[in-house]
Amino acid sequence: MEISARNMLKGRVKQIKPGMVNTEVVIELPGGPQVVSIITKESADKLGLTVGKEAYAIIKASNVMIGVE
């Protein structure tokens, strides 16, 4: 797989929460951090996502905001 995004985080699907239209996917990265994404139900089905399957969280953004209290 080759894509233009530079931030690809490999992990395992920890949780899948299907909805009527969208599906929430939780990917657990090595060491325990988690990334949560909302994708279409159709995309989740097409990718064949299952708990425990290896997957990538691919982040493509022109801006990343940082905040402090």
- Per-residue pLDDT of 21-47, as tens digits, reads 999 999 999 999 999 999 999 999 999
66 compared with 3, residue with greater pLDDT: 3
Q: What does the pLDDT read at residue 35?
A: 92
Q: What is the pTM of this model?
A: 0.84
Q: What does the pLDDT read at residue 5?
A: 79
67 belongs to a structural domain: no
Number of domains in the chain: 1
Handedness of CA 52, 50, 10, 62 (dihedral sign): negative
31 belongs to a structural domain: yes
18 belongs to a structural domain: yes
CATH of the domain at 16: 2.40.50.100
Q: What does the pLDDT read at residue 63?
A: 74
17 belongs to a structural domain: yes
2 belongs to a structural domain: no
The predicted model gives 7-12 an average pLDDT of 92
C-alpha count within 13 angstroms, C-beta hemisphere, residue 32: 0
43 belongs to a structural domain: yes
Residue 27 and residue 51: Cα distance in Å, rounded?
Answer: 9
